[in-house]
Copies of this chain bind each other. A is one copy, B any other.
Amino acid sequence: MAEKKVGICLLGCGTVGAGVVSILREQRAMLRQRTGIDFELRHVVVKGPEDYPANAAELPMSTDAGAAIDNADTDIVVELIGGTAVAGTFVERALRAGKPVVTANKALLATRGVELFKIARGSKTCVAFEASAGGGIPIIDAISRGLAANRIDALLGIVNGTCNFILTKMTQNGWSYAEALKQAQRLGFAEANPAMDVQGRDAAQKLAILAGLAFNCRVTEKDIFVSGIDTLDAMDIQFARDLGYVIKLLAIAERKEGSRLSLRVHPSLVHKDDVLADVSGSFNAISVYSHALGHALWYGRGAGRMPTASAVVADIISVAQGIQGLLFNQMQILMDVVPPVSVQPFEQLESRYYIRLSAKDQPGVLAQVTAILGRHGISVASINQREGGEDRTVPVVITTHKSREGAVQLALKEIDALGTILRPTVCVRIVDQPEEFAAA
């Protein structure tokens, strides 16, 4: 087959952009040999000369994104600017010009995905976004194609490397949240403003993308119950460990009755024998339970320069070979063509719970608390009065059998109103692996 040349226009040359440049330049011969395509980096566009990378002299740098997109020598536009405003404008411009776009920008997909996908269809081109969730793990392709024969019943995993790094440090070193965050920032695993990550919003945006593809519906961030790791106490990590659990920030989508989805991102007690408990540092792991395949899991680096670039370049290849175009047009699973999700209200969730009370050290408190739990139909599985509270409070750790979220929240409100409870009660959900339905 005659060799084809494909011109790449790279918008943004920060962390991931530099990784893409590195692969396209250093692995050019390998890519050509594998794909039969010679990928030429024809434009590297940044905002201003102050953003030029160290090796700018060797690169086709410019600062006029519009001209680079419109140039006839640009075949594929790779958007790695981040944010939604500027990035959205350029992605739209490329798509309207009929040029396919590769992006890692989950925030852009969350805010303008539907509209941009429609524009792409109108221009008979496509968008590829493997790097928008799971970093370098090719999970989007796996869900879209590899599992296409399956009715997926549950998808859950660790999809935010920053939170997982912080939780791993808190668990392994006994650090406080603040200490672990500081270390994550020092090592580049957390941004100066870590809110999007530690509040769980980044994980929710990724879950929206993954769940939408897995369950063939349109999921937005606001469909997802979100609770971050920024209010976790080192004490709870210690107590959880004593109970045989590790605390992880899980993103969860589960099919419930009536095809409704339970969608949530929250710190979760995961049993120490669960494979997700062993996912450490900045790694990601995504478990999928489906009717034919049963349980399957994908594990790898969910962020970082080279892992993310790996996914971006895989998308570039897929677009250049015409594969992404076929997928984009034929698979009826993208957010602009699927119906909106039907969400199970969060208060209907059935879960087991870890509850930590900060009680006054006096007789009768436990009787009051257990009476309230009992009145709300919440059955206690274990109860432990612990040492280690501050300000003369006594930590009491309770785990429950399966209970209803709404009942638990009502009970906790009543408990926190007791004069003998000195601080807001901490409640972390215990997540058991879904049952595997697959026959051998």
Contacts and interface: CB of A to CB of B under 8 A. Distances in A.
Given A306-B438, A306-B439, A323-B327, A317 B145 contact: yes
A301 B297 CA distance: 10
A304 B36 contact: no
Contacts of A304: 438-440
A188 interface: yes
A440 B136 CA distance: 11
B301 A299 contact: no
Contact of A275 (B31, B278, B294): B278
Contacts of A323: 145, 323, 326-327
Interface in A162-197: 187-189
Given A299-B275, A318-B145, A306 B293 contact: yes
Interface string A268-295: 0000000100100010000000111111
A438 B301 contact: yes
A54 interface: no
A56 interface: no
A293 B301 CA distance: 7
Interface in A281-337: 282, 290-301, 304-307, 309-314, 316-318, 321-323, 326-327, 329-333
B149 A138 contact: no
Contact of A332 (B36, B293, B295, B300): B36
A216 B33 contact: yes
B301 A298 contact: no
Contacts of A314: 145-149
> How many copies of this chain?
2
A216 B306 CA distance: 21
Interface string A24-61: 00010011011111000000000000000000000000
Mostly, the A contact residues are mixed
A275 B300 CA distance: 12
A17 to B, nearest CB: 14
A1 B151 CA distance: 23
A199 interface: no
A85 interface: no
Contacts of A278: 275, 278
Interface residues of A, number: 69
A19 interface: yes
Contacts of A70: none
A142 interface: yes
Contact of A310 (B292, B295, B297): B292
A31 B156 CA distance: 23
B136 A145 contact: no
Nearest to A273: B278
B326 A321 contact: yes
Contacts of A275: 275, 278, 299
A280 to B, nearest CB: 10
A148 B313 contact: yes
Nearest to A140: B146
B332 A292 contact: no
A13 interface: no
A308 to B, nearest CB: 9
Interface of A: 1, 19, 23, 27, 30-31, 33-37, 130, 136-138, 141-142, 145-151, 187-189, 216, 275, 278, 282, 290-301, 304-307, 309-314, 316-318, 321-323, 326-327, 329-333, 438-440
Of all A-B residue pairs in the complex, the 6 with the closest CB atoms, nearest first, are: A138-B146, A296-B300, A149-B313, A292-B310, A297-B299, A292-B306
12 contacts: A34-B333, A37-B330, A142-B142, A149-B316, A278-B278, A293-B300, A293-B310, A295-B301, A296-B300, A299-B299, A306-B438, A323-B327
